[in-house]
Amino acid sequence: MSARPRPTSPHLSIYRFTITMTMSIVHRATGIALYCGTVLLVAWLAAAAWGGEPFAVVNAIYSSWFGLLVLFGYTWALFHHLLGGLRHFVWDFGYGFEPGQREGLAWANVIASVALTLIAWTLFVWVA
């Protein structure tokens, strides 16, 4: 038995962006960013396991302005992907598909991820 080749779908460039579509793309993008970002966590852990000197080097890089910028982005990506994952759980149980609900969930995802990032950095970095 054989089948015809599967049809290919047109890519991003031809669509009008909607919030749900954008959040789907951002979920994937933050997933890829976190994938790469694990290297940062592992470098920190490996340096800590290695000894005081490598650890001091990694710490110095991470606390430079560029390091902090990357970590800030990492925090946002983490929160966004986490909330996006929770949104998928809601969908898996069959809720949140109605018009209005899905847009609401998508907007809640962006707003909450930005808010949580700012709260986390305010509490733990800027104030502490």
Partner 1 sequence: MREPVVTREMIADPKTKYGDARASTRHFFLQRLSGASNILFTAFLIFIVVRLAGAGRADVVGLIGNPFVGIPFAILFAIVCFHMSIGMNEVIEDYVGEARSNRLAVSLNAFFALAVGVVGAVSILKIVFWG
Chain positions contacting partner 1, by CB under 8 A: 1-6, 28, 31-32, 34-35, 38-39, 41-42, 45-46, 48-49, 51-52, 55-56, 59, 63, 78, 82, 85-86, 88-89, 92, 120, 124-125, 128
Closest CB 96 distance from partner 1, rounded Å = 16
- Cβ-based nearer residue to partner 1, 17 or 93: 93
Tokens of 106: 């998508």
How many degrees, rounded to 5, is the angle at CA 123 between CA 120 and CA 126? 100
Closest CB 100 distance from partner 1, rounded Å = 25
Give the C-alpha separation, 1 to 4, whole Å: 10
Listed in sequence order, the residues at least 6 apart from 51 whose beta carbon sits closer than 8 Å to its beta carbon are none
